[in-house]
Chains A and B, each alone.
Chain A
Amino acid sequence: MNIEDLLRETFSEMAYEQAPPPPDRFLRPRPARWHAGGLVLAAAAAVAVLSVGSFVVVQQAFPNGRHATGTSEAAPVVRPVAEMWPEAVRVVPKQLPNGQAFTPVLYLDKRSLLVRTGKGTSRDATVLWSYDLASGTAKQLVDFLPPPDTTYTSPVVMGDGYLAWWTISGARTSSVKGIWVVPATGGVASKIATSGRGFPRPAESVVVPSSVLAMRGVDTLAIAEGKVVWSDAGGGGVFTMPFGGEVPQRMPGTETLTLLRWPWAYPSGSSSSDITSVHNLKTGEVRTGPVDASLRCSITWCLGHQAGTRRRDGSGAHEMPGKQTLGPLLPALDRFAFLCVDTYRLVLYDMATRRGGDLGITVGQAMKAKVHFFRGDEVAERMMSLISYEAGGRQVVVDLTAIK
């Protein structure tokens, strides 16, 4: 360690010792907040400088009674993720045999990972490989040439024997969206939809807030019922398209809905922190609530400002270990949270089973490594089925779908 690493550790420790104030702290009821000619936020009142206490000590006992004995100030003991869920954790090298750094995307089957290299732009195109876990060898799986001026290649999803993703090409004002599919066994990727050519226009009556999603052009992409399913960030609607192409269809009754995670959608225009209802596109079931604006809910589970959690319907309320949730805005795969435990350790926590696994890296290392689940990339957060991160010179892969 050198002084620079120590600085990084100190900053990340400090950054997470204070729970951020609720957003309401910066918003005041109308009309005081909004005046003609501009916004007047709550006045920056002069405040006395108060002493910040020493470290906040984690006092919550870890569920299942697994916590350090002795003083009440002891931090919870969380077992390493590989011990907690051995079937879900693999360690792989950082580089392919040809020396290229790669990122795990999803499990093609039990023996092989789909991995990607390249930044996803025209200059540094995404290449998709099949990585054999037993032999450590990789072969290029997909023949994919992004269009000229491609600036973004999305994460990849798999279903019904196909892989699908999308690209954004061209300048922001005249960017073109493309949706691509290829059989999961490999081959030449084909573009089945392009904006401007039969690409459906979103319902214009719905105003979608500026967000990271709006920059990306497509909210969520999935494969279901033998089709590619997606929502457009420009407005409402859940659209489908067969693998072979054709004209995209808007699913009936989805004009004001945006796909969250198949088959669930939410009212278009809601930010991730404010999804007050979810709608099942297959059964018509609607789940509403909660009234509490401090909760951020996916389909079933919600995250609070600190380490509180509960289901959307109010059941299952409990305190998670540690003092704060980090990373994705919504529970990953509708049930996982990332927690800061014992001041700086990063823990993966399953709200459904109330179990946690220590990822073996500090919060600071996770931020430094720019891991996708920590960088506010909502698109990646919504589409991911696994997480991967660097530790000890290798990559740890945690298959969230394998955690039962």
Chain B
Amino acid sequence: MDPRCEADFRHFIISRSAALFRTAYLLTGDRHAAEDLVQSALAKTAAKWSTLRDPTAIEAYVRRAMYHEQVSRWRRRGRLTETAMGNVPDHADEGHADSADLRLTMRAALSRLTSRQRTVLVLRYFEDLSETEISHVLGIGVGSVRSQIYRSLERLKKTAPELDAVRELQ
């Protein structure tokens, strides 16, 4: 890579690594795994750097690399390496399910999803991508995205029934 590309790459990392890390942290649920994921995606991007001159294309490429790596990592290992969430309760105390408790319950429930399920939820509810955008990013059909999201939400509710009652509690 020539010096100009190196400078570009440096600038990209300096300006975007924090945002990439945040998404990676949501995908993995673990700080170290998140750093690894970003690094691995950046390495793949660097190899393609000369063909990616448009800044939007660069970021899209890195992100796509992260999503795919996260999904396939889980496939390889057969099990998501999920972080133990300290003292996150499995179920919030009944009758005290305020917003903070519910978020803790949600985190515990998220840790029981498959990597693919978690990824579609991050793309939909954190990255705010549409179902069509998600289908492009993950290379699957829109129908499949829709059913993944539906199944993921159902699984969250099944894992933590109090989440199903969120509407009534508010």
Binding site for B on A (CB under 8 A): 1-4, 6-16, 18, 20-21, 23, 25-27, 34, 38-42, 44-45, 47-54, 172, 207, 209-212, 214-215, 269, 271-274, 305, 329, 367-368, 370, 376
Contacts and interface: CB of A to CB of B under 8 A. Distances in A.
Contact of A3 (B31, B35, B54, B156): B156
Interface of B: 1, 4, 6-15, 17-19, 21-23, 25-26, 29-36, 38-40, 42-43, 46-47, 49, 53-56, 58, 81, 83-88, 99, 102-103, 106-107, 110, 121-122, 125-126, 128, 153, 156-157, 163-164, 166-167, 170
B46 A23 contact: no
Q: Chain B interface mostly helix, strand, loop or mixed?
A: helix
A51 B82 CA distance: 9
A14 B85 contact: no
Nearest to A41: B43
Contact of A34 (B1, B34, B86): B1
Given A7-B106, A20-B18, A215-B54, A50 B31 contact: yes
Contacts of B26: 11, 14-15
B67 to A, nearest CB: 15
Contacts of B38: 26
Contacts of A329: 15
A42 B39 contact: yes
Given A38-B1, A41-B39, A272-B15, A52 B49 contact: no
Contact of A209 (B11, B156, B166): B11
Given A47-B36, A49-B32, A11 B55 contact: no
22 contacts: A1-B170, A3-B153, A6-B166, A10-B110, A13-B103, A15-B23, A15-B26, A15-B126, A20-B18, A23-B17, A27-B10, A39-B43, A47-B32, A51-B86, A52-B86, A209-B8, A209-B12, A214-B55, A272-B15, A274-B14, A305-B18, A367-B128
Given A3-B153, A38-B47, 8 more contacts: A9-B103, A20-B21, A40-B43, A49-B30, A50-B32, A207-B4, A209-B7, A209-B12
